[in-house]
Structure 1
């Protein structure tokens, strides 16, 4: 038998024989359990690496079938934005892929404008026996309480979209929000000269729950502060979803501040694009916003939005489930995450981009 064939066919019994230990000891190392000396553990790991041992995922999936389940807790998508639908698309891709290994994955939704719906979803999750929960921490204090309860029940937690540092047991998968703000600030510094007027605008109902937006604003302002330009920066909120309510606020702010740049911190940038399309009598400022949503892309293509910063919500949803799969099924233990890529789209390159 060739060395290649031997490496290809090696199993737990072979590893135990080569290491001169019991099968139970090898199993403890593979599953990262205690009661193995560090010297023996390293010896077994070296044999595993040398022989390129791959676990039998099918056999392992049989052992966890009907015993391993994950919950996902995210906002439901709304008529105003498709952001969470993209995240759900990624989650559904993960469900389709990982359910083949016997993993049960259930999605729970809440309304971003109604805390009670979050509490109701939490109660439904805690009424069942999940091994881990993926959470979009929109309601920060409520999420902290939920995570603490999960900890007391030995349920792992993993955040997506935004982070509450130091609270989830398995970390965070999503964009570095501070860096997304800095990127928008960088773009702004190229677009305008000294003494330009910049309007930072957050548009959404229930903005009091969007605490993570401040991280973007901090990154944006900090970047501009460190340039050699003196800019007039104003921060404003429009706490509405409907265009009929947003339009008069935009009209008032535009005529009051006469901005050279509008930085929209949410994914509602299409609303700003529509406003300037409807009001051709106004001088359109540069407009920077977030996310590769169809409505946003439409106004980007028309030239009413200048830049879209994309945070890949679909990939966030999929990678969160993939991390749990690797942790529980492949026994890969790591809390080291790379933040999601931050992409810049313009009228010239959006057609070549895919979520």
Structure 2
């Protein structure tokens, strides 16, 4: 077996010897530091890849122990949907795993209906000596200002669930929102024929903070336009979390529009399922919504909801921490965008699905 066989474990000293450089130069490349020419950097990276060099993670973790800290800034779980609880479950999984490497991870939960809670926690993060912060950017303007302050303090930022293009330093991990809209439109074409009336519903209090829903709507509308589908598409907002108010709004819309299909753009599709269950005198349209939540699956199982599109919030939370771990501890390069899988659930397959 030759000395440089891929099956023989190779260390930083051997990489330096083969490259004809100092150990310090290899260390600068591994840690993404400057003062290395591009040709030398490429040569060392090629050797690292060729010999499958793996850093000693536990030794490296000892060097960063009590010195590497991540913050997570996401909405707290609301009474209306358990979406953020799933995200938090993924984050807790990451905390249990990466705390073993001496990384401190602290979670900050804000009220997505109260921008003041978000801004207050911004101050806590900025004063907390963190290396990076994972952010769910519900409040667009306030998030942009917060990211600017993070840049001044050299705090890396990473978005989950939705994106603000070009804002965060480490990109976005979450669903491709345009694709989720196009998928919903594809499912629509199987559920109802042309000449049908399609009602797109945005349901949530504080809808001005949910601009990302427009990306889904654009994907939905453009897909049907590209297919020259002859549908009448109507977009309506119900800016409330109160079921009684939502019920009255749905009664008005049923009377005015009488849709053949309703596409709910977020995880609150269960309220539409509840509405039609409580009003059997009405002709139920086809219904498409988002996410594998108990209340949504309940109406899917009954046949009230036809399709659920799942965006894996649990996986988003875990993968965000994994991304930071790989960047800071393994010294991997930034990826910028990591799309999540988009799953389709029906009454036939929901029993076999796990978040």
- Common fold: TM-score over 0.5: yes
Q: How does 1:93-108 map to 2 (within 5 A)?
A: 93-108=93-108
Matched, 1:220 2:232: no
In structure 2, the partner of 1:312 is 312
Distance change (3 Å), C-alpha of 1:64 and 1:218: same
TM-score, normalised with respect to structure 2: 0.96
Alpha-carbon distance, 1:305 to partner: 0.3
CA contact (8 A) 1:197 1:259 kept: yes
Alpha-carbon distance, 1:49 to partner: 2.7
In structure 1, the partner of 2:73 is 73
In structure 2, the partner of 1:344 is 344
CA contact (8 A) 1:162 1:174 kept: yes
Q: Which runs of 5+ in 2 are unaligned?
A: none
Cα distance in 1 for partners of 2:332, 2:171 equals: 14
TM-score, normalised with respect to structure 1: 0.96
CA contact (8 A) 1:130 1:155 kept: yes
More off after superposition, 303-312 vs 223-232: 223-232
Moved over 3 A (4+): 1-9
Q: How does 1:15-54 map to 2 (within 5 A)?
A: 15-54=15-54
**SS state at 1:107 partner:** strand
Distance change (3 Å), C-alpha of 1:250 and 1:60: same
In structure 2, the partner of 1:168 is 168
Cα distance in 2 for partners of 1:270, 1:220 equals: 20
Cα distance in 2 for partners of 1:229, 1:47 equals: 54
In structure 1, the partner of 2:14 is 14
Alpha-carbon distance, 1:8 to partner: 3.7
**For residues 173-216 of structure 1, what are the alpha-carbon distances to aligned partners after superposition, in whole Å with 9 as ceiling and x for unaligned?**
00111111111111112222222111111111111111111111
Cα distance in 1 for partners of 2:256, 2:20 equals: 79
Q: Which runs of 5+ in 1 are unaligned?
A: none
Cα distance in 1 for partners of 2:82, 2:4 equals: 50
Distance change (3 Å), C-alpha of 1:346 and 1:53: same
CA contact (8 A) 1:8 1:52 kept: no
CA contact (8 A) 2:6 2:52 kept: no
CA contact (8 A) 1:197 1:260 kept: yes
**SS state at 2:337 partner:** coil
Alpha-carbon distance, 1:14 to partner: 2.2
**SS state at 1:9 partner:** coil
Cα distance in 2 for partners of 1:166, 1:336 equals: 10
Give RMSD over aligned pairs.
1.6
